Structure 1
């Protein structure tokens, strides 16, 4: 498999990925210091930064830096007055809404990251390495380990404790309705479909736009203000 084998089993591309993750981690730490404390984007950023820093203890993959880069590009777009992708737009629109809880922002950000950005990161990496999505399946699974750690942090750090998270609390239902494994499976299927459409650029573009819009709609629902 040539270059794709290096991506899966180590070698020069793995080192480049580690360097890129180091630069990405530095950028995310700088951003963490700049974001206001009471801010919906900051709520997601804190948990994502923790997962990104964990990459220093786990093997970096060809997908880590492109994935984080898409989130950071959305942050830059919003800061510059441009429209971020539809999947990120609700988080930026509602980032200061007092009725939206930190766990909602973190979960919506995680959904945007997996449902849209991870799909496109797989396609980007395939173009860069001139390989097929199947050659990156191991990389995809390793990124999933990081995302699992991120999800656990969302549920443990941002959701109230069991004594406060009542069965009648809407947040209980929100956290229980989202499943990481299903989201990852959908992202992988979408990446394979988008890659298969690469020779039909108009169809591929429409597919990507509709995916972005669909994930954005999900995120908007996740950010519905909840009663205290």
Structure 2
């Protein structure tokens, strides 16, 4: 079912968008680095700071990207009532919705995970070649980052489902995407080095909220008519 959905919406084409997003984040990191050198600042003073910046940028980018996918494969179908056609197929409505939401969840999980690994790796390679970070990377720091990336990927995947609630309320594509922007902006906003995402309980709680929203949507899909 997931393969059919991806083929129907040509979602494999998303890979090009993912690559563009990663390159854009790399360009932004490069810009920050050279801007700091010009202004005699050092945002890249430690690996912890760099990894946090990368994590925030990746999470923001792909949660918003995921909301665009939700808007395309779910909200637009409800808005245009084309979902009615799918619901007359001899396939359970729940199976259809599970397939759609699984695509969103797995897309966010995989892209956040791989993007963090790639960008972190590029920073470490650049540091070995050009001595960008004055701090020495230790195995303890590396393992801590691995666990942080895993948690970030799972929590982002759950958070990416939250805009579904707002989109389904009004069957509005803009409302879906704007809600995603507001959520990740709130979680990732930085105040004197402090972010809400640094409190592990918050992204974990939001992840569970997203999963609950997905579950409620799937549970009610058989009884809620398309209007």
Q: Tell me the TM-score normalised to structure 1 length.
A: 0.33
Name the larger-Rg structure: 2
Normalized against structure 2, the TM-score is what? 0.33
Higher fraction of helix: 2
